[in-house]
A = this chain, B = another copy of it.
């Protein structure tokens, strides 16, 4: 920490540049002048436009940094416990694509958890990689999928010694994090890297109440959305690399392919500032948000709503071997009168906007910008909703997630990923879909594990599982027909 961590090299450069008051005969075309005349748009943008500059000799080059960007990346690596950190302007999406593209050549094999973010699947498609898709373990209390267990990973690595790496997503959207240390040890014993999509966990490891980060748990590469829980602008993310197993230059080259050759400096500066905040404030930066959550949890017993995860105040407890992010509050109606969507809508009508909802849960995301009074506002809304919630015409059942192999059964066969057939597709009745290739995602929530992804061939087993979800009236996200009467498949060649 200390003086060096207090520096913000990109911001310092931009401040100096803006102060030099040179006349710009280079892009961007706005020349640091707003002339939009809509509402107060000019006032909103004008202060930041002076920092919306281009890559010049003194502003540095994101793809081959040697100046302030390189320095900001070194400070970020120090702060996040990496050997090398790359600032990303294309979100965790860019990092996840580069992580896959930098690790697998066409036809090479990766071990990937099935409930990964779409960008991981997109990376597999762009890489033309093969993947063994491991089902995650299901949290018994919530019915949600987390990560595959270490035995399944070890078994997959033993069966497929040609694997180039293991790709996990942790924490999940609900803030549940897997224990990565045993898995990184299994990976390293097999000589392959552990790559973690940690988009939802950029704050991990910065406070005793927060789970440790993937870097701290021995991952070789991790990708974090600094905008999700830290203070960076949306699309600001980071890719961290450690150790010598990963071919770092291959990852850097992949980033050059998938990210803009005209990166946004306000975005880069916001990453620099987000890192500086952690460097300077340390764990104190999260106290206001943790206090907000504490106030909500204290008030919950007065309402019908209960939270998933450990009951202790710090929120960092352990359930079923998982760790819970205390800054994600996952609530459900203990009396079963309101489903997740209705809780969300009820809170929205009371001025509190949630992050997401499913058939059972509503997810409330706190962040480094949350204040204790936000907790007061939420508990007030929950009390009001609890007292006056009208009647629900849907009675959400406890989720009955299908076992999906449980994480320890047989290791699935590898799948060859390729880009799909370019969108020429049709909708067919579910019962007539066997043998066809899916053109859409079918993801029941919970557990949030894709039953079908574009490019997957539909067989009898998949048809059975889809029919089961349909019978349960599951909440299907991403599907064209959420009732699952029909499914979109690619036209036959």
Seen from chain A, the residues whose Cβ lies within 8 Å of a Cβ on chain B are 8, 11-12, 15, 21-36, 38-41, 43-45, 47-54, 56, 89-94, 97, 101-102, 105-106, 117-119, 122, 125-128, 202-203, 225, 227-235, 247, 249-250, 252-253, 256-267, 269-270, 273, 276-277, 329, 347-348, 351-356, 364-371, 374, 377-378, 418-424
Q: Given contacts A23-B374, A45-B48, A247-B422, are A119 and B29 in contact (CB under 8 A)?
A: no
CB < 8 Å: which of B22, B31, B353, B421 contacts A23? Answer: B353
7 smallest beta-carbon distances between A and B, as pairs:
A29-B367, A91-B260, A249-B423, A31-B369, A250-B422, A25-B364, A26-B355
B422 contacts A105, C-beta separation under 8 Å:
yes
A-B contact sample (12 more), CB < 8 A, given A25-B366, A38-B273, A264-B267 = A11-B39, A26-B355, A30-B227, A30-B231, A30-B367, A32-B369, A33-B369, A44-B48, A45-B270, A47-B47, A56-B353, A249-B423
Question: Which residue of A29, A353, A419 has the most chain B CB atoms within 10 A of its CB atom?
Answer: A29
Name the distance in Å between A87's Cβ and chain B's nearest Cβ.
14
Contacts of A247 in B (CB 8 A): 422-424
* Least CB separation from A259: chain B residue: B93
B258 contacts A258, C-beta separation under 8 Å:
yes
Name the distance in Å between A358's Cβ and chain B's nearest Cβ.
15
B228 contacts A27, C-beta separation under 8 Å:
yes
Q: Given contacts A252-B423, A368-B29, are A44 and B41 in contact (CB under 8 A)?
A: no
Contacts of A39 in B (CB 8 A): 11-12, 15
Q: Given contacts A31-B367, A419-B101, are A273 and B25 in contact (CB under 8 A)?
A: no
A261 contacts B93, C-beta separation under 8 Å:
yes
Contacts of A265 in B (CB 8 A): 234
B260 contacts A90, C-beta separation under 8 Å:
yes
B31 contacts A370, C-beta separation under 8 Å:
yes
A374 contacts B31, C-beta separation under 8 Å:
yes
* Least CB separation from A101: chain B residue: B419
Contacts of A422 in B (CB 8 A): 102, 105, 247, 249-250, 253
CB < 8 Å: which of B41, B53, B369 contacts A11? Answer: B41
A262 contacts B234, C-beta separation under 8 Å:
yes
Q: Given contacts A45-B270, A90-B259, A105-B422, are A264 and B235 in contact (CB under 8 A)?
A: yes
Docked Cα-Cα span, A175 to B351, in Å, equals 51
Contacts of A31 in B (CB 8 A): 367, 369-371, 374
Q: Given contacts A35-B277, A273-B36, are A24 and B353 in contact (CB under 8 A)?
A: yes
* Least CB separation from A43: chain B residue: B47
A28 contacts B227, C-beta separation under 8 Å:
yes
B250 contacts A365, C-beta separation under 8 Å:
no
- Please name 7 pairs of A and B residues whose Cβ atoms are closer than 8 Å in the assembled complex, sorted by A: A21-B351, A23-B374, A28-B367, A41-B273, A90-B259, A122-B258, A235-B260
* Least CB separation from A351: chain B residue: B22
Contacts of A364 in B (CB 8 A): 25
* Least CB separation from A89: chain B residue: B235
Docked Cα-Cα span, A176 to B265, in Å, equals 28
B227 contacts A262, C-beta separation under 8 Å:
yes
B54 contacts A234, C-beta separation under 8 Å:
yes
B257 contacts A126, C-beta separation under 8 Å:
yes
Docked Cα-Cα span, A276 to B33, in Å, equals 16
B30 contacts A369, C-beta separation under 8 Å:
yes
Contacts of A377 in B (CB 8 A): 23
Docked Cα-Cα span, A24 to B370, in Å, equals 8
